[in-house]
Amino acid sequence: MANLETSLKEAMGIDGAIGVALVDYGSGMALGTLGGDTGELDLNLAAAGNTDLVRAKMRTMEMLSLHDNEIEDILVSLTSQYHLVRPLTTQNGRGLFLFLALNRGRSNLAMARHQLRRIEVALEI
């Protein structure tokens, strides 16, 4: 099991990582962030904004009666970046999500999704 600091560092080790945050989607507050130092990304603003995205998708799933499904991740493809949002599914992680921003030209999306999933499983809250 890994603590928050270790998990964020591991996420920043993913090829093309720009920044990562663990976010409480009840409040929109980032519980921890790492990266985003280059001015490409304001992680606290991204945390709050992606909270709305997660809430909207949760409401949509409820309206569609998709009760036996869980969100694995949400992908937003930008011209120069990928934004991965991964709601935590562990008992202690309910109500939280990992946000990872990637440089599109330097990342492998499939590998990043795999690594973020592994980080989520090991994260101890």
What is the tens place of the pLDDT at every residue in 38-81? 677 899 999 999 999 999 999 999 999 998 898 999 999 999 99
Q: How many CB atoms lie within 10 A of CB 55?
A: 13
For residue 74, the cross-strand partners are 85
Compute the mean pLDDT over every residue in the chain, rounded to the nearest whole number.
92
Q: Residue 114's domain spans which residues?
A: 4-122
Give me the mean pLDDT over the 87-103 stretch: 90
Total structural domains in the chain?
A: 1
User: Residue 61's domain is classified under what CATH number?
Assistant: 3.30.450.30
Tell me the C-alpha distance between 61 and 70, whole Å: 9
Q: Which residue is listed with tokens 């990043």?
A: 112
* Helix orientation angle between 109-122 and 4-12, rounded to the nearest 10 degrees: 170
